[in-house]
Chains A and B, each alone.
Chain A
């Protein structure tokens, strides 16, 4: 997928991965793997950005004798996901515009 397009979608994907329950880094990558490939450094950057934007909070919890960071979605994060739904309708109309001529030829 086009890198610019993907970049915009990754934020939403990470939020979606922690929507139903708190999750941790590796679990997020695994959950997203079937849909979108993401490197560790990219995930780190996105998590930092979302945290700075107040869309998620981080807590460290003990797990198997070590600390693991869990990410929890906030109200702002849920709002962002809702916003994405609305964006999507707009995106679909853009998609129809872009592919209009192809369909006309068929």
Chain B
């Protein structure tokens, strides 16, 4: 491979980077190869000493801070052409309403999921409150020497306490599940943006 081939291949591999960065890098490798040739190496050997193009490119990308790469990637590569803008505007009554509808449906589904979780919590709280009521009633019955009723109420109260503890863990798991789902959904979009 000669120097020009090496440099144009490298330029291709680095095409995602900002223009100034690429020309700087290429000039650097250009000088490095020329200096080796000047020392008596053949052009081929001098280029060989740089290593394979894909490895060189990989190493360069590795050394550039990720934040800068992401910034470069997110920046739009080209502007919209006039007819594309016209089409976007003319089609807006159609695509905008469809997009809004889709967004509304997604939002509704999300709200329903949370509502279900909310219901679970409400049930858990209700069971817990009624368990307190049963325990209190049981205590009252015992004070009034109505032992069978008192024991029955206390037993029911204890059973409800157990049930409410069980429900609490169930609710917590459900809430965490929905939060995890939200995160997964969000990262789906964030990742898409970074890869675009």
Contact = CB atoms under 8 A, between A and B. Distances in A.
User: What bracket does the count of chain B residues touching chain A fall in?
Assistant: 10 to 19
Interface stretch (B23-31, B90-98, B145-153): B23-31
B60 A25 contact: no
Nearest to A27: B35
Contacts of A40: 28-29, 32, 50, 56
- The main secondary structure of chain B at its interface with chain A is helix
Given A39-B51, A42-B63, A26 B56 contact: no
- The main secondary structure of chain A at its interface with chain B is helix
Nearest to B38: A64
26 contacts: A24-B31, A25-B31, A25-B32, A25-B35, A26-B35, A26-B39, A27-B35, A39-B51, A39-B59, A40-B28, A40-B29, A40-B32, A40-B56, A41-B25, A41-B59, A41-B60, A42-B59, A42-B63, A44-B28, A44-B60, A66-B31, A66-B34, A67-B31, A68-B31, A68-B35, A69-B28
Interface of B: 25, 28-29, 31-32, 34-36, 38-39, 50-51, 56, 59-60, 63
